[in-house]
Amino acid sequence: AGGDHLHLSAYWRRWTDWVLTTDKRQRIRLAMAGLAALLMVCCLVVMNSVAAAGLASTAEVRVWTACSVLGLIAVYAAIRSGWSRRFKDPALTLAQILYAITCCVAAFVIAGPARGVTLPILAIILMFGIFGLTTRQMLGVLVYSLVAFGVASGVVAARDEPDYPPVVAAAYVGMVVVVLLSSTFLTTRVQSTREHLRRQKAELAQALEQIRQLATHDDLTGLLNRRAMLDRMQLEQRRSLRSGSPLLIAQLDIDHFKAVNDTHGHAAGDLVLQSFADTVRRNVRDTDVLARWGGEEFVLLLCDTPAADAVALMERLRQAVQAMQVPVAQGGQPITVTVSIGLARHAPADPLAGTLERADRALYAAKAGGRNRVVPAPCLR
């Protein structure tokens, strides 16, 4: 029994994949078209029941049924084959609604005394506009429907049906107008609400991204802050432990930065910090991670970098910072700074705090040795 159940499940899956395809978006489009087709089938049953009761011409209802079925087949084929993807709306929502309204108008003409059944059908058709039409398209559908039903009312009047006095005809016309206007109004209101919610969602996502940015980045330089850098270090530490790739940490400190603030002011000091961050980012790889550790001190995380290459990179970085010129007030001399760098290799079994401490000691040695130099930690040499 269990094997039969699995066999049936596999057969059902293959069949649905063939009917609806395996593409997720295509399945949604075809499912929506299938729902519309199901409603149309209900309408076909109603109209054929009306004909069977002798209230409408059987021949006309048969022709109407054939045209409706052909329309459903054409829509399915256009979506299923992928032909509809050339259009802005691959689900062909507007085309389906206009065709359904046309069928509804034809049913209104041939249904005889039972033409009142077309009014709720019309309302349901218009409600489908919620799922894929813009407000402008819905207004176009309204105009088309008013014109189509106006022509249909003229055709019904010309047929001079018995038991269809002018008062009843006027009532039907009035009800058609009421259904069209109310359905369009409700649909556009729902669309307006959806659009409002969509905007709110986008604004909320933007606000959350700004909060995340503020929580993880330094306002002045745009670099990761200390907390975010520690999280990134832990991530890279686990990755290095799995892959065995080298991981190095460099501590960078701008030399005599307090003198820059005292001489040129804090605004100039901020420019120096920003220029320094930009210079470092331009001279390292995209995979290297730079963070502002605090004040004029920065930390650089070098992933999958051999020790010799890291030392050479730090030397090039030191030279780039030394060549950096930060413009100040008009007519003043540009500010130049240097950087001291301590570099340490992270051993997979060691805690990050130990590696940071070794890099900090190497940085202190660079300061004590005269600044503007790169000092590797002893284990790196």
CB-based burial, 271-288: b 16+ in 10 Å, e otherwise: bbbebbbebbbebbeeeb
Residue listed under structure tokens 């993807």: 85
> In angstroms, rounded to a whole number, what is the distance separating the alpha carbons of residues 337 and 354?
29
Catalytic annotation on 195? no
Sign of the CA dihedral running 175, 177, 180, 185: negative
Residue 8 phi, psi (nearest 5): -65, -40
Instruction: Find the catalytic residue in 296, 297, 315, 357.
Output: 296
Which residue in this structure is represented by tokens 């470092």?
A: 280
φ, ψ for residue 218, nearest 5 deg? -80, 130
Spatial separation of the C-alpha atoms in residues 142 and 48, rounded to whole Å = 27
**Which residues, in sequence order, are CB contacts of 312 under 8 Å at separation 6+?**
none
DSSP per residue, 14-59: HHHHHHH-S-HHHHHHHHHHHHHHHHHHHHHHHHHHHHHTTSS-HH
In whole angstroms, what is the distance from residue 136 CA to residue 97 CA? 14
3-state secondary structure of 344: strand
Which residues are identified as catalytic?
A: 296
